[in-house]
Structure formats: structure tokens, C-alpha cells
Amino acid sequence: MDIASLRNAHFEHWRLAAAIRTLTLDAVAAANSGHSGMPMGMADVATVLFDKHLRFDPKAPFWPDRDRFVLSAGHGSMLLYSLLYLTGYPDMTLEQVKNFRQWDSRTPGHPEVHHTAGVETTTGPLGQGIANSVGFAIAEEALRARFGAKVMDHHTYVIAGDGCLMEGVSQEAIALAGRQQLSRLIVLFDDNGITIDGKVSIADATDQGARFAASGWHVQAIDGHDPAAIDAALTAAKADPRPSMIACKTHIALGSAAQDTAKGHGALTDAKLIADTREVYGWEHGAFDIPADIKARWEAMGQRGAQARAEWEARLAALPAARQNEFRRVAEGEPPRKLAGAIRDVKKAAIGGKAVATRKSSEIVLEAVNAVMPETLGGSADLTGSNNTLTKDLGIFGPENRKGRYIHYGIREHGMAAAMNGMALHGGVLPYGGTFMCFADYCRPSVRLSALMGARVVYVFTHDSIGLGEDGPTHQPVEHLAMLRATPNLRVFRPADTVETAEAWELALTLPGPSVLALSRQNLKPVRTEHTNRNLSAQGAYVLAEATGKRQVVLMATGSEVEIAVAARAQLEAQGVGTRVVSIPSMELFSQADEKLRRRVLAPGAVRIAIEAGVRQPWDRWLLGDGGREAKAGFVGMSSFGASAPAEVLYEKFGITAGNVVQQALARL
């Protein structure tokens, strides 16, 4: 690479980009950790993007109509932090850059949304950013259709590397974006030919351009160090009606001794290498020293955005007040006033009803919710009829109908979950999506990120146990409730009937962060017999049925096993054994309740039997803690994978029956 001729050909551009490169070298050296090569390779692309195309305002990082910039290759975080510092995001001081990867800094190893202004999504786990970006672009299309181009009219730009494109989730994202013709989505592929283990060619021979084109993308390939070519490609990408991929041929760790090598991917901390690289760059400034003229030039880019934002504010202000308020409400994620009433009506109507599967209960709730909550964007990974996620009048979202509120994600649980994260982060929409609970496995990396990012996404996981029957062990979740409950910041609901399902939905739609609804395939008898406006699920667990006389046994259960607990209680009570039934729709919420309440509900001293068609791991706490005792605790559930047979046969064979519960309880009295 002839750096001198690059510098000479575009001197101002070179210096702007060199600021990113040297800040990266300095911060990584200070941290003695990080990834130098990617920011050094993609500095030219990022500079042109920010200088000529990206619409952003550092003083208003949450402006709803800003362009979104997603660094899918999150390990190159110093690229982003450099850009935020240079363009003048107030929180991104030079001090923060110097504290790269240190405790409590705004500059963690990988970019974290809600932690650092200007970071749109948390990246690092590869492929997530590009898959989030599909959700960003969908949200933009949906909001543009709803509120008009005057208030919603922006692009989503992504920088993705080979790692992102090798991860399978990228294929799901690419195919979905292609089908959806998301023309505002522009992916800049850092085509540097290097991964951690060496050349890309040791593991891949894919023609990435041909691959994107096969899914309907507009594809270009350019020299990623030529500012004119970058600019022209971005302009062409914006003009094309398809999603665009620009393969930017770059040199990782450009200009250093580690250029074009796997070593260049990592932390370049050798003082001589850094000094030599500075010299190659013609950069005569000290560590972390950015000349004022260059800093000013970078800040001017942000100022251009400030003007665009002011114009946008004016356009918003010109809308009728009701439209403005509605836009602000959805942008801020406030639930509509009518939601509480809609939920209440469903709860009331459900009392005394017939047995229905909670997936069907969920559909009943969604019919009511979707009618009063126009920001919901539903969907399913090709299990619409089974997940019961499509309600009437939603319409199908697509290039034909951007007002549609239901997305056919295809058989792409991972792409769906990642897209939903993008939508939730974009704001203005509230995504929910369905699949079988067992296939929570397929979207597990994105579910974790929902939790880490606190994104308000609702996972509708139906067929939540062996109760799905004949499909067998490949489709029967057993350990999934444990896995989901073990995840910090994730709220798992396993409602027992329509009333609890309505309460779970209400909490999922109003509390911050993600929620999982675990719903049955099989019909369940209603367990709530009286209406109350109060959301009993909000405390996580509650006494569903009290013992008659002396309380000797407490049966704890969730979801489809609550009716088994109720049946077992009837048998025990008939034998004179006072038995309480506790329904625990959400262990997370119950954990947050104070100890006094928990003990009141769980009643120390009594025999405790927990009933759930999953593994015991999450139950030990409730069986043995909060006043529980080993000798008086029993579990009726699964300790192995399931099997293929009708559901009722499976419950019998695996011993999840009222009879077994009674026996377990009596044995401990």
C-alpha cells in the first residue's frame, strides 16, 4: 500500500482519517488490549460516511430521525469511539478515550447501547449488528408509512466484517432484507481478507457479492481507501431501490508493520510499531493529540446534522398536535392509555370460560392489544398458525404494504430476534415474534442481547413443554425455562390461563426490557375463577387457592401444570390435607418481591411440591429457600429429554400427574 500517494491525493481526507487511526493506536496501547486493525483499515470509509452522508447530531444523539450507524464488527469499537469523540459527542471526552476498556468508562471493549451516547446497538457477538440493522430499517419503513416522510426519512448504515458474514445469522438477515427490499439499508463490508486465525481463505471461499446478489441486493465493490470511490458508492447505494452492499477492499492495520496480517487484527501495542506507523502516516502529533483544525473539521460534520435536526423539529412541530403527541408517545415507548382497559376486558371475559391453550389466550389478548396499540409489529418464524401471533386487521408488512404490522420472518428465529432488537432500539415500534420455545435455542444469542440491552421485545414462545406431544424430544423444551430464567434482565412468564396470559402481556408491554411468554400448545382449564382488576402476576407469584383448615402442603406450579396442582389439591383436601396452590407466572418478578412477601406466599413449615414440565434447576430456590426444607420438598417435572407420543400419554409416562403430586406430598407429611 502506497500510503504517501494516498495522503497526497486526498490530503485533508487523509488527515481526518489518520485521526481515527492514531487515536485507535493510542487507546489500544494504553489499554494494552483491544483491536487496532479494523479501525485502521476502515477509517477512510467511516470518514467519508460521516463527512458526506451520515445525518447525525452529536448534541441530540437520540433524535428519532437520525441516520443509524451500526458497527456490526463491534471489536473495532475504537473506530466508533474515535468518531464520537472527534465529532463532539459531549460524553465522549478525550479522557474517556484514554480510559478505553477500563471500569466504568464510556469506552468498553465492545460498544454498548444505553451506556454510550451515539452507540445504536450493542455489538461484538458477530453478525448481530447486521441482523439488528434489518430491524432498524424495518422500523424506519413502518414509521415512514405511518407518520410520513416529513418525520421519518433516514438510512441505516452498517459496517460488517468477514466474521459477521460468516455467522449464519447474517444469511437470515440478508435474505430477509432482500425479500423486504429495504432500500434504506446500506452495508459496508470490510473486505480485508483477514480473520483471527489467518487469511479468510483458510476457512471460506465464498463470493460475498454473489451471495448478497442471490438474495436481491444491490452490490458494489470498491477500493476502501479511495474517498472518491467510497462517496460514489454510497451515493449509488442510496439511489438504488434495493438494499445495498458495498464490498470495501481494505488493508487491515493499514500502514503498520502488521498490515494485512492476522496479527494486525488484534492489539498493536509495540511502541516502535506505533511510532513507525505514525511516521508512515506523516502524523507528527503526540499520543491522543488531535490538531485543532482537524478536530474542528470533524465537529463541523456534526453541526451540519444539527441544522438537519432543527429542520426536522420544525416539520414535526407543524403536524397537528394529536399527530405530534402520538409520534412522541411511540418514540418514547409509552404505552397507550387504552391498554389497561383492553387488558381488563380480556380478563373479565375470560372468567368462567372454557379450556383454551395459552397460545390461543395470547391471540385473544393480542386481538385486544393490537387494536389499541398501533406501534406493535408482530411476526413469526413461519409458525403463524401455531404461535397464534397474527390478529385480524394487522396486514402483512412488505414492500407492497409498509403499513402492514405483521412480518413473515421465514424460518429464521435468529434473524427475527436480532431484527426485533433493532426495531426496539430504533424506537417507535414494539416488536413481538413467535416460534416454538425449543427454538429459543436458535435465537439464543439475540435473546441474550435483548436482555443485555434492555430492549423491549416480546418473545412469544409456544409449545412450551412435552405438552406439544407427538413432535417429540427435538421439539420439546425441557431445559429452556432454566436457561431463560438464568439470563439476567430477562423476564420469563409462564401463564396458566387466559387471565394470567393477559396479565403477562400487560407487564411485557409496559415494563422496560425484554419478556418471554412461555405458552402451551394444549388446552388448559381456567384457574382464575374471580375477576380482579389487580395484576396478580405483577408480584411474580400469588396464592391461587388457599388451604382449608390447617395448611400442610403448598403446591407450586406454572403454566400448564397449575391445573394439575389444582387437581392434586382437590384430592389432598378430600383426604383432609389442607393444601395451598401457588401460581408462579414469573420467578423473576417474585425474586424482586421482598422476603416477607415471598415467605408469606410460600408458607414455611408446609410440605412443598413444585410441579413444572421442565428441569428442576430453577426450582431449588423455591423448594429449599425462603423457609423451605429438604425433607419436606419434592419436585414433579422432567429430568430427561421428552419423547414422541400424544401429550396426555407423555404426562402420564413422565409422572407429571395429580396422582403423583398427591403421592409425593403425602410421602413428606
The CA distance from 318 to 307, in Å, is 17
The CA distance from 550 to 545, in Å, is 14
Annotated binding residue at 75? yes
Residues in Cβ contact with 225 at an 8 Å cutoff, skipping those fewer than 6 apart? 1, 6, 44, 250, 251, 254
Q: Provide the 10 A C-beta neighbour count for residue 11.
A: 11
Looking at the Cβ atoms of 231 and 441, the one nearer to a copy of itself is: 441
Annotated binding residue at 286? no
Looking at the Cβ atoms of 194 and 567, the one nearer to a copy of itself is: 194
Name the minimum Å distance from CB 386 to a copy of itself. 8
Annotated binding residue at 497? no
Write out the three cell numbers for 226: 479511495
Annotated binding residue at 521? yes
Annotated binding residue at 559? no
Name the minimum Å distance from CB 62 to a copy of itself. 22
Location of C-alpha cell 416460534: 435
Helix (H/G/I), strand (E/B), else coil: 282: coil
Looking at the Cβ atoms of 526 and 642, the one nearer to a copy of itself is: 642
Annotated binding residue at 251? no
Annotated binding residue at 192? yes
Phi, psi of 77 (to 5 degrees): -55, -30
Looking at the Cβ atoms of 168 and 291, the one nearer to a copy of itself is: 168
Q: Give the single-character DSSP code of 546.
A: P
Nearest Cα to Cα of residue 565 among 639, 665, 465, 632: 665
Looking at the Cβ atoms of 47 and 487, the one nearer to a copy of itself is: 487
Name the minimum Å distance from CB 267 to a copy of itself. 9
Annotated binding residue at 35? yes
Q: Are 327 and 147 in contact (CB under 8 A)?
A: yes
Angle CA 403–382–335, to nearest 5: 45
Name the minimum Å distance from CB 432 to a copy of itself. 16
Q: Across-strand partners of 377? A: 431
Name the minimum Å distance from CB 174 to a copy of itself. 8
Name the minimum Å distance from CB 305 to a copy of itself. 28
Looking at the Cβ atoms of 204 and 279, the one nearer to a copy of itself is: 204
Q: Tell me, rounded to whole angstroms, the distance of Cα 103 from its chain centroid.
A: 24
Q: What is the largest CA-CA distance in the chain?
A: 93
Looking at the Cβ atoms of 482 and 524, the one nearer to a copy of itself is: 482
Annotated binding residue at 439? yes
Annotated binding residue at 594? no
Q: Are 186 and 49 in contact (CB under 8 A)?
A: no
Decide if 112 is catalytic: no
Helix (H/G/I), strand (E/B), else coil: 633: strand
Annotated binding residue at 444? no
Q: Give the single-character DSSP code of 630.
A: G
Nearest Cα to Cα of residue 146 among 336, 334, 395, 341: 395
Q: What is each CA distance from 51 to 43, 83, 234, 299, 555, in whole angstroms?
A: 12, 11, 12, 10, 64
* Among 120, 413, 503, 561, the one annotated catalytic: 413
Determine whether 639 is exposed, middle or buried from the number of CB atoms within 10 Å of its CB (0-12, 13-18, 19+).
exposed
Which H, E and C letters describe 33-84, residue by residue?
A: CCCCHHHHHHHHHHHHHHHHHCCCCCCCCCCCCCCEEEECCHHHHHHHHHHH
Annotated binding residue at 218? no
The CA distance from 420 to 36, in Å, is 31
Location of C-alpha cell 391453550: 357
Q: In what order do the strands lie in the sheet with 68-71?
A: 68-71, 156-161, 185-191, 244-249, 218-223
Name the minimum Å distance from CB 421 to a copy of itself. 13
Q: Give the single-character DSSP code of 401.
A: B
Determine whether 600 is exposed, middle or buried from the number of CB atoms within 10 Å of its CB (0-12, 13-18, 19+).
middle
Looking at the Cβ atoms of 58 and 434, the one nearer to a copy of itself is: 434
Looking at the Cβ atoms of 109 and 335, the one nearer to a copy of itself is: 109
Annotated binding residue at 463? yes
Q: What is each CA distance from 177 to 73, 168, 184, 568, in whole angstroms?
A: 19, 15, 10, 51
Looking at the Cβ atoms of 193 and 627, the one nearer to a copy of itself is: 627
The CA distance from 67 to 559, in Å, is 43
Determine whether 210 is exposed, middle or buried from the number of CB atoms within 10 Å of its CB (0-12, 13-18, 19+).
exposed
The CA distance from 405 to 383, in Å, is 16
The CA distance from 67 to 426, in Å, is 10
Looking at the Cβ atoms of 108 and 227, the one nearer to a copy of itself is: 108
Name the minimum Å distance from CB 195 to a copy of itself. 5
Would you list which residues are annotated within the binding site for thiamine diphosphate?
75, 124-126, 163, 192, 265, 439
Would you list which residues are annotated within the binding site for Mg(2+)?
162, 192, 194
Which residues are known catalytic residues? 413
